Amino acid sequence: MLIANRGEIALRVARTCRELGLRVVAVHSTEDRDSAVVRLADESVQIGPAPARRSYLNIPAIIEAARRTGADALHPGYGFLSEDADLAAVCAENGIAFIGSPAPVLEVFGDKIAARALMAEAGLPLLPGSMAPPGSAREAREAADEIGYPVIVKAAAGGGGNAMAVVHEAADLASAWRRVRTDAQALFGDDRVYVERHLGSARHVEVQLLCDAHGNVLPLGTRDCSVQRRRQKLIEEAPAPRLPGDLAERMSEAAVAGARAAGCVGAATFEFLVSPGGSFAYLETNCRIQVEHPVTEMVTGVDLVAEQIRIAAGRELALRREDVRPRGTAIECRINAEDPDQGFVPAPGLLTEFRLPGGPFVRVDTHGFPGYRVPAAYDSLLAKLVVWAPDRDRALRRMAAVLGECRISGPGVRTTAGFLERLIADPRFQDAEHDTALALPSPPDPRPVH
């Protein structure tokens, strides 16, 4: 198995591969030559310098590494090339099993406009929005006037919270349309955008699925990912708390219908926005492992990466719905090398102290260690701290306790650990009354950073 990624997800995939008896090939940039996954792997290949476009986004270099090492499967993790249709197609051409959906499926979900159209055909509820890219600022404004403000202008090829803008008044629509198009072209090489109704206060809830190549689709419950900064998730939990009535079941059925219509294979996550009134609308689909997958694993006992690999090997899902009985509550906090008190700017540096908590029902996914230099070239995620408890109240108390045990320091290094402590203690989060509009807590009185 060649792991075409880095950081904590590369290490997490490598561990499951070792459990399954698979030899592990780690590819790495010059920046990551001493990383934890390189140390664990059976073999490693340097594929380029630090910039991702010349290493982790370099398809020819990755495929050549697979050929040289005899790898017959490739796990892309998340981010980077994990949903790249070209990589999936090249893997197929070279007889390498791609751990994920086939290229045509990735092409559909890589185009948000095409995905909206397909999901509408499958019967999923959508927010009001344009079903084709407006050809001009005037057309964009006409679409927004028909939808009703506020609206959000999004890149058709977008993802990760990039290239989008919320517009509250018609006078601001044209400038937002031009700005998002420019950003989309720069980030994705595709300047198409669309306009959609914006929900100012909604919950971000997603459904995890496993889909095999034999037509079986297995829902594994919900996750709440509403606590975000700059549209990037900070805290996730499973199951999503306080969903009214049979909403969780209806969302799961919608996700299953969407996955079947698209032909998803492997792990897939369908993301929805839930309005204060309890209605839900399709947001997007990710045909890959998610950063927040550990909370689903903690409540179901299912190793999602192992299932991805078995599915890619052509096996039919052994699990059925009656086999999946989620228990308790799991919560994940993302500890990033960022300074929350300075607008979440990255704060990389040498880790001179790196002590993360343990104890009953605590899971830590990290690639960090004392002496590790957190690079400035990549995403700032340093560790994922996950807890489980029989109920949400006890899970919250456990998370508050273990966050207080974190000791991470070094020259220039700051993390979100203390900030997450304040978020967990917020009464709105404690009572599960939070949504995507949750105002993030202000920093406390100055105290030593740890």
Residues annotated as part of the active site = 288
Q: Which residues contact 446 (CB under 8 A, 6 or more apart)?
A: none
Angle at 188 between CA 205 and CA 333, to 5 degrees: 35
- Look at strands 151-155 and 164-167 and give their pairing: antiparallel
Per residue, what are the HEC states of 352-385?
Answer: CEEECCCCCCEEEEECCCCCCEECCCCCCEEEEE
Q: What is the C-alpha to C-alpha distance for residues 243 and 252, in angstroms, rounded to an integer?
A: 13
How many Cβ atoms are within 10 Å of 183's Cβ, its own excluded? 18
Which secondary-structure segment (H or E) carries 224? strand 217-229
Which secondary-structure segment (H or E) carries 405? none
* DSSP codes, 55-89: TTT-HHHHHHHHHHHT--EEE--SSTTTT-HHHHH
Beta bridge pairs of residue 164: 154
